[in-house]
Amino acid sequence: MSLKLYIGNYNYSSWSLRPWLVLRKAELPFEEQVIDLDIPGYKDKLLALTDAGTVPVLQINDDMLPDSLAISEFCAKAVPNLWPTDPKEKAEAQRVTKLMHEGFQALRNEAPMNLRRRTSKPVPQNCLDDAAEMVALWDDLLSRHDGPFLFNDWSIADAFYTPAATRFASYDLPRTARSDTYISELMADPDFQDWEAEAFIETHILPETDKVNQ
């Protein structure tokens, strides 16, 4: 089976980072190709891959699979233990992953992933509300597990919250000591650090994203 993951820019593409981490943890060999976002012609390139017109897209032999969660589920079918093995834990991990896939809109808009960014400028209240809701969710899960991850061992849920964790660091968002430890754990992950290293040498800039909260 040959796998190729089309991704957006390392510094900004939170949706791309998620399945990239899952593929790494699954130890599935894959090629990756960056498509520079927000430049003339970029949308045509995305639409040439799939009708979704977004990245990430996983090419599986000759088939194209868009969407971070669908790609992660594909990996979970191929490789066990990307979800918790206990059925109740798995259902809860899938629920909180879906929550991240569909929600926290204000946090996503007002504090977009921008790995090179470090600022302490105040963010709007709706963003703070999302951040507080996320911290409460993490604290609840971490209090019921031994850690260091949301469901003890690393799972797809942690992949989905990794880009969110970076936003707490980038925008200096309030968090509890327990959540701060979790954020540090995700950001110290060697696979995440490989991705972050690419973001630090990447030269493509998304000016609109860089302007958020300036």
Ligand X SMILES: N[C@@H](CCC(=O)N[C@@H](CS)C(=O)NCC(=O)O)C(=O)O
Q: Which stretch binds ligand X (CB under 6 A): 48-56, 90-98, 133-141, 184-192?
A: 48-56
| CB within 8 Å of 87: residues ≥ 6 apart | none
Q: Is 55 in the site for ligand X (CB under 6 A)?
A: yes
Q: Is 8 in the site for ligand X (CB under 6 A)?
A: yes
Given 2, 31, 39, 43, the residue binding ligand X (CB under 6 A): 43
The residues in 60-89 that bind ligand X, with binding defined as CB under 6 A, are 67-69
Nearest approach, Cβ of 79 to ligand X (angstroms)?
20
Extract the tokens encoding 214. 């300036």
Is residue 198 classed as helix, strand or coil in its secondary structure?
A: helix
Instruction: Report the amino acid identity of residue 109.
Output: N
Number of residues in contact with ligand X under rule CB under 6 A: 15
CA distances from 60 to 57, 71, 119, 167 (A): 9, 10, 39, 31
Instruction: Report the amino acid identity of residue 57.
Output: V
Decide if 52 contacts 66 (C-beta within 8 A).
yes
The residues in 94-133 that bind ligand X, with binding defined as CB under 6 A, are 101
Nearest approach, Cβ of 13 to ligand X (angstroms)?
4
- The contact set with ligand X (CB under 6 A) reads 8, 13-16, 37, 43, 46, 54-56, 67-69, 101
